[in-house]
Structure 1
Amino acid sequence: MRSLLWLIDNIITIYVYLLIASAVLSWLVAFNVVNVRNPIVSQIGDFLFRVTDPVLRPIRRVLPNLGGIDISPIILVLGLFFLRNLMFELFAGLA
């Protein structure tokens, strides 16, 4: 059971890093620091979009329009941290 908790914890941690990388890349593209026409940047951006957008899309539908500010990654990170802590609290006695 402890190995399964460790695996889920690491998957959540990696996904949080991917969310942060996606947000930072979107800022870099918005401020013209990196160019999307660069093939490597385009591939990285496409990968991050495909990995994070299916989870962020339902959150964006529920949130009110805040102009140009997208807080859906923050809400998802908080939810993932809550889920991880809840998982450890619920299964701590079993491990």
Structure 2
Amino acid sequence: MFTLYKILALLLDVAFMVLLVHVIMSWLINFQVLNLRQPLVASIWDGLNRLLEPIYRPIRRMLPNTGALDLAPLVLFLIIIILRDILLPDLMRSMM
């Protein structure tokens, strides 16, 4: 059971890091530090968007329209933190 806990914790940590890279990269692209005409940057950005957009879409439908401000990554950060730091350890403690 402990192995399953560690695997779930690792997956949530990886999801957190992927989301963090996506947010930082979006800032760097918007402030024109990164250029999407560079093939490596464009391919990483496209891959991250393909990975995260299906997750963002249902969150965006539930949130109010805030114009250019996208709150979906923030909500996803909160969900991952709650799962990783609160629910998963409590679930592990209840199993023991």
Q: Tell me what 1:90 maps to.
A: 91
Aligned residues: percent identity? 36
Cα displacement string for residues 1-32 of structure 1 (whole angstroms, at most 9, x for unaligned residues): 00110011011011111111111111111121
Give the structure-1-normalised TM-score: 0.91
Q: Tell whether the 8 Å contact from 2:56 to 2:73 is kept in structure 1 after alignment.
A: yes
Aligned residues: 95
| Unaligned segments of structure 1, at least 5 residues | none
What TM-score does the superposition give when structure 2 sets the normalisation length? Answer: 0.90
Deviation at 1:91, TM superposition (A): 2.4
Dislocated runs of 4+, deviation >3 Å:
none
The question of 1:37 aligning with 2:37 is answered yes
Superposition CA RMSD, Å = 1.2
> Could you list the per-position Cα deviations for residues 30-80 of structure 1 after superposition, in whole angstroms to 9, with x for gaps in the alignment?
121111010000111011111111111110111111122111111111111
1:11-90 alignment runs, 5 A limit: 11-84=11-84, 85-90=86-91
Separation in 2 of the partners of 1:26 and 1:46? Answer: 11
